[in-house]
Amino acid sequence: MDLRVVSAAARDVDADWLIVGVPEGGEWPDELVALDDALQEQLSRLREAGDLTGKLAELLIVPDTPALKSRRLLLVGIGSPTELSVTRWDKATMTAVRQVSSKRDLRVAFCVPEQLGFLSRDRAVEVLATALIVGSQGQDLFKAEHSRFPFAAAQIVLPESGDVGSASAASERGRILGDAINLARELVNRPPHEIYPETFAARALQEAISCSLMCHVFDEHRLEAERFGSLLAVAKGSDRPARMVVLEHRGGGPNAPTLALVGKGVTFDSGGLSIKPTDGMLTMKCDMAGAATVLGAMTAIARLKLPVNVIGYCGLVENMLGGKAYKLGDILTARNGVTIEVHNTDAEGRLVINDVLSYAVDHGADRLIDLATLTGACVVALGEDVSGAFTNNQAWCDQLLAAAKTAGEDLWQLPMFDSYNELLKSDVADCKNVGGRWGGAITAAKFLEKFVGGKPWVHLDIAGPAFASSSKGHREGGATGCLVRTLVEVAEKGQS
């Protein structure tokens, strides 16, 4: 897509769709008044009739605009400018972009309002650029007729006096983030007969080459040599061998700290012998969303050339039933020597990323973040739109929470009291892999804490927001690519 930042009056922009934000209440800004004048006060009449309120993400199409160079006009409410935030601006822009992306080869122009409240102009441009990339790509990869199409060209329009220099840089950053989010979405949306450990690893290598990341792929023999005992146990029931992908971005120099991003990559989760029912298994192609998020974020970090050291790790398995599948009552020995009694083979994600966390610690990680579609309990606690955060280091978690707020993504921290360890005690091993019915998201995090060697660590349970069960005005159903933006933000700002 040809994406450009221009400075122009809205009436002079040539496009198939001109998109203009309308504030709720108060006096209209000068650029909207000028547009209304060009349309012979048509907007004022719509406002007086109650058809144009400016409420957040409310849309109004003006299909015939002979007074403008653009063919059609879409008005999108941005709410009160004093309440405008990254999250609210993202909702407005995504809703508008999704509205106009249903046909091929369209040229769109989106005007950035003068009144942005506490939102900086460059951040508004970045978010808008990401929306133009993400909002125009659907999940219907295998349909004969697609419902959404990338634009042929897009213009981000600043007021006539606007300086396009820094805005152009912000737009390019937004494009890179959008491409990274779409990569994560595509991988999660593809079916499990296409995406399994070997093919995910091959795609990761391809993406790494395209953006100058160092990439290492560990096969099942290397994983066995590295003592990935619990990860390999999960993989035993499948004909697809396990893999681990290691992606290195060394932008910070030899003495700079290293951030490790660890992603759960269960490319399909049947539940193993603790088999899921059909409804619970139907969307389990999404159980590798943590690994896809890490891969997407690493490509963005590399393309942005961030001056930091970040290593991404993707632990990749299928959890299937077979004659060699691991069993309830098995005792597994993890990479760091911790023994684990298996009480549920559907609690497999923690048995994958625990070994990867241990490896990252042993290979120089100073701080860690893991991402996993780990527990239904977290969805019960927080709903489908909020990720759970768990930590052993409050200062590090605070940096991540601040990064999520800056990126406009919703995180909520849950407790990690020592008393939850009691629920993981085993009579025959160092611990069980589940803690029972109560506090399931927290006991899963307490289990993972045993494998980080005391390093500052945050676990992100993305089981809710990683995969949307249905489409909404501002969001496509299927994979969302959630937290790619947050990971890039914390990598850039959180290493100081």
The catalytic residue positions are 276, 350
Which amino acid, 263?
G
Q: How far apart are CA 391 and CA 296, in angstroms?
A: 23
Query: Strand pairing partners for 259?
Result: 310, 367
Angle value at C-alpha 416, between 415 and 418, nearest 5 degrees? 135
Q: Which long-range contacts (CB under 8 A, 24 or more apart) does 195-198 make?
A: 195/267, 195/285, 195/288, 196/240, 196/267, 196/268, 196/318, 197/235, 197/240, 197/241, 197/242, 197/243, 197/265, 197/267, 197/316, 197/317, 197/318, 198/240, 198/241, 198/243
List, in sequence order, every beta strand (DSSP E) within 104-146.
107-111
Rounded to 10 deg, the angle between the 289-303 and 197-210 helix axes is 10
366, 257 contact by CB (below 8 A): yes
DSSP 320: -
Q: How far apart are CA 74 and CA 78, in angstroms?
A: 13
Label residues 401-428 b or e (16+ Cβ within 10 Å = b). bbbbbbbbbbbeebebeeebbebbeeee
Q: What's the farthest any 2 CA atoms get from each other in the chain? A: 81
Q: How far apart are CA 26 and CA 49, in angstroms?
A: 16
Residues with Cβ within 8 Å of residue 437, at least 6 apart in sequence = none
